[in-house]
Chains A and B, each alone.
Chain A
């Protein structure tokens, strides 16, 4: 009897203890979860991130997002993943999705997407596809950008060109460029038309416009050295040679040109540019924007094509609060948040409904960028691509410097790149 009593007393104590701890846990769960968001946006874009985060924090009381601006985000993220202290959610370059996903460093989001019935079709196709690696979705597109042709209407008029008729094709582009080029009495360039190797335009861009691609469909062979690639590089080299590489260098490296674009000062009449430049341009060259800026789709080679870049939201593997992070992601790609960000940052929402909303598309300067999304392409979602692309850059370098013919340069690069691709594919299969 005594023993039974003792046991009962013990059980009572234990259950009391359990009740207390569960009660405490309940209290703890009622306090909001704080989750960490890392991003590297400053300036207007940074204001946009802050606005979205504030709106989310105000919209509910369970989760508090704490945003941290991190310069050199890539390195820091790598270290934090290796040290198993990743943040809960990261706004990172969508281009990196394949790099991280193939290394199993991101949380696949398909379960969340299915549970909350997120519609992939609501996003621009190129953006969504860039988040998919081997059939799984690893990031949610947050914003995007495309490239268009920007041109200076005043310089068009001076050269006797009709500013309402921007170049339509590569041939037009060359013709216009010739007309817009001015040299001084010593033969030095004082003004150029379109320079295909400036503004970070990769050869892949021209390759797409020729109807080619970097890899074959299942990413087992590099294909950038095919006839399309050779045609694209030959075109690039011939236009560069028209100006003279030496002359271009001098024009690009003028004092102060690092601070601004020679496009602002009328030394360059046409360039391929993304919408991220608009806020800078409004700040540094308000007169150009107000009076002389023309925006048109990129001239086509065989087809029209533009690159769709931009940022995505990801949940690193091992994040402490992935459910809360997903809640934030869902909010950040809702129509209102997308419009809020786009209006602050001046970029294109990844959500089509937000991009087409008059509050965003009503901006006449941004509209052509949104329209260009129709022809948007994206870089292969494959971990080998950055290394492969480095060889493409080297091929362009060799051809432009006349060290090799375009065809030979691409052949050389493809040889190296194929090895790289094979190495990755071998390793991925393991």
Chain B
């Protein structure tokens, strides 16, 4: 874009270019392989530990391949806590929160990004400010409030807040993405008689698929792994979620490490699957190619 008038680049020999492309690709692979093997190591370590017997867990010499492989750790881990019940609770809470928070934040962010109104800037400041007070000091008043609302020991305490805004982080993130969408697109639709809801659903949301997917992943992970809200709001063990159940493997004085690792892996797998499936939208979501300029 800048300067560089003069010798057209086209004249650079095709061969050098090809060579460079191959070189770059090799380099990319190298970095990816080295990096991912470094990042996989702890995961493999978890897998390895999850398949070890007691004596191997504490052996002074660390081995990667357990001998013998104790598959029964997994069945024991799933029996250690009411796994299927907790899984059901977790799936219920996470999916409700996903629906609520994603739709709410998508709509709220649209307001902040595309609609003018007196007070918008100030309210946006308030939105950001709402993330700046450590939750440790609002926890008690929030608890008292939820309790008075009758949400104590009820999944409502975990689900309803998701529908009310969907989280300042997500709103802010989506607003940033909506802001990059040219206003002409919205204006053109408006001239065609499209309502704001129509613009959001037909233009802004489809163009923001990558961002919406990313936010969806964040909401999913945040709720799937949330330990704190279930801890303080649920007092019936039957209502526990998996994140809370996972803590039951660490007791006061002793920890069943193999079982903890087995349970952690089973716990994390759905997140990895969701991520793996969702990421096609980071890439294949509609790009703005050719739509402007």
A and B touch in the complex (CB under 8 A): yes
Quick check: A46 and B251 within 8 Å, CB to CB?
yes
The complex places the Cα of A45 from the Cα of B252 at a distance, in Å, of 9
B33: interface (CB < 8 Å): no
Quick check: B57 and A42 within 8 Å, CB to CB?
no
Quick check: B140 and A79 within 8 Å, CB to CB?
yes
Mark B127-156 against chain A: 1 for CB-CB distance below 8 A, else 0: 000000000000110011001000010000
Quick check: A83 and B251 within 8 Å, CB to CB?
no
Shortest Cβ gap from A313 to chain B (Å): 16
The complex places the Cα of A188 from the Cα of B244 at a distance, in Å, of 41
Quick check: B144 and A41 within 8 Å, CB to CB?
no
B58: interface (CB < 8 Å): yes
A24: interface (CB < 8 Å): no
* Closest chain B residue, CB of each to CB of A279: B254
B164: interface (CB < 8 Å): no
Quick check: A256 and B140 within 8 Å, CB to CB?
no
* Closest chain B residue, CB of each to CB of A281: B254
Quick check: B248 and A276 within 8 Å, CB to CB?
no
Mark A42-86 against chain B: 1 for CB-CB distance below 8 A, else 0: 111110000000000000000000001111100110111011110
Among A123-131, A258-266, A407-415, the stretch in contact with B: A258-266
Quick check: B147 and A256 within 8 Å, CB to CB?
no
Shortest Cβ gap from B90 to chain A (Å): 16
The complex places the Cα of A405 from the Cα of B73 at a distance, in Å, of 50
A36: interface (CB < 8 Å): yes
Quick check: B152 and A71 within 8 Å, CB to CB?
no
Interface residues of A in 70-106 (CB under 8 A from B): 70-72, 75-76, 78-80, 82-85, 87
When distances are taken between beta carbons in the complex, the residues of chain A under 8 Å from B254 are: 43-44, 276-277, 279-280, 283
Among B7-15, B191-199, B231-239, the stretch in contact with A: B231-239
Quick check: B232 and A45 within 8 Å, CB to CB?
no
Quick check: B147 and A83 within 8 Å, CB to CB?
yes
Shortest Cβ gap from A83 to chain B (Å): 4
Contact of A71 among B54, B139, B248 (CB under 8 A): B248
The complex places the Cα of A285 from the Cα of B56 at a distance, in Å, of 10
Also in contact, A83 and B152, with CB within 8 A (given A45-B251, A45-B253, A259-B58): yes
Quick check: A255 and B251 within 8 Å, CB to CB?
no
Shortest Cβ gap from B57 to chain A (Å): 6
B289: interface (CB < 8 Å): no
A284: interface (CB < 8 Å): yes
Contact of B235 among A36, A42, A259 (CB under 8 A): A36
Quick check: B253 and A276 within 8 Å, CB to CB?
yes
B257: interface (CB < 8 Å): yes
Contact of A78 among B57, B140, B147, B249 (CB under 8 A): B140
Quick check: A265 and B232 within 8 Å, CB to CB?
no
Contact of A83 among B59, B143, B244 (CB under 8 A): B143
Quick check: B139 and A79 within 8 Å, CB to CB?
yes
Shortest Cβ gap from A163 to chain B (Å): 21
B62: interface (CB < 8 Å): yes
Shortest Cβ gap from A128 to chain B (Å): 22
Shortest Cβ gap from A325 to chain B (Å): 15
Mark A231-242 against chain B: 1 for CB-CB distance below 8 A, else 0: 000000000000
Also in contact, A85 and B232, with CB within 8 A (given A43-B256, A72-B247, A279-B254): no
A40: interface (CB < 8 Å): yes
Shortest Cβ gap from A27 to chain B (Å): 26
Mark B81-124 against chain A: 1 for CB-CB distance below 8 A, else 0: 00000000000000000000000000000000000000000000
The complex places the Cα of A75 from the Cα of B54 at a distance, in Å, of 32
Quick check: A72 and B60 within 8 Å, CB to CB?
no
When distances are taken between beta carbons in the complex, the residues of chain A under 8 Å from B249 are: 42
The complex places the Cα of A219 from the Cα of B236 at a distance, in Å, of 40
B55: interface (CB < 8 Å): yes
Also in contact, A260 and B247, with CB within 8 A (given A82-B143, A83-B152): no
When distances are taken between beta carbons in the complex, the residues of chain A under 8 Å from B62 are: 255-256
* Closest chain A residue, CB of each to CB of B142: A79
Also in contact, A68 and B236, with CB within 8 A (given A41-B252, A284-B54, A284-B58): yes
Also in contact, A284 and B253, with CB within 8 A (given A42-B248, A71-B248, A79-B139): no
Shortest Cβ gap from B44 to chain A (Å): 13
A382: interface (CB < 8 Å): no
A317: interface (CB < 8 Å): no
Also in contact, A264 and B58, with CB within 8 A (given A36-B235, A83-B144): yes
Shortest Cβ gap from B162 to chain A (Å): 20
The complex places the Cα of A264 from the Cα of B49 at a distance, in Å, of 17
The complex places the Cα of A327 from the Cα of B254 at a distance, in Å, of 31
The complex places the Cα of A280 from the Cα of B252 at a distance, in Å, of 11
A147: interface (CB < 8 Å): no
Quick check: A79 and B60 within 8 Å, CB to CB?
no
The complex places the Cα of A274 from the Cα of B254 at a distance, in Å, of 12
Interface residues of B in 209-243 (CB under 8 A from A): 227, 231-232, 235-237
A379: interface (CB < 8 Å): no
When distances are taken between beta carbons in the complex, the residues of chain A under 8 Å from B252 are: 40-42, 45, 276
The complex places the Cα of A235 from the Cα of B54 at a distance, in Å, of 36
Also in contact, A85 and B147, with CB within 8 A (given A68-B236, A70-B231, A76-B232): yes
The complex places the Cα of A79 from the Cα of B233 at a distance, in Å, of 9
When distances are taken between beta carbons in the complex, the residues of chain A under 8 Å from B139 are: 79
A205: interface (CB < 8 Å): no
Quick check: A82 and B58 within 8 Å, CB to CB?
no
7 additional A-B residue pairs with CB within 8 Å, beyond A42-B249, A68-B236, A256-B57? A36-B235, A40-B252, A42-B251, A71-B227, A260-B58, A284-B57, A285-B58
B contact residues vs A (CB 8 Å cutoff): 49, 54-55, 57-60, 62, 139-140, 143-144, 147, 152, 227, 231-232, 235-237, 244, 247-254, 256-257
A contact residues vs B (CB 8 Å cutoff): 36, 38, 40-46, 68-72, 75-76, 78-80, 82-85, 87, 255-256, 259-260, 264-267, 274, 276-277, 279-280, 283-286
- Give 22 pairs: A residue, B residue, CB < 8 Å, sorted on A: A41-B252, A42-B252, A43-B251, A46-B251, A68-B236, A68-B237, A70-B235, A71-B244, A72-B231, A72-B247, A75-B231, A76-B231, A79-B143, A80-B232, A80-B235, A82-B143, A256-B60, A259-B58, A274-B253, A276-B253, A283-B54, A286-B55
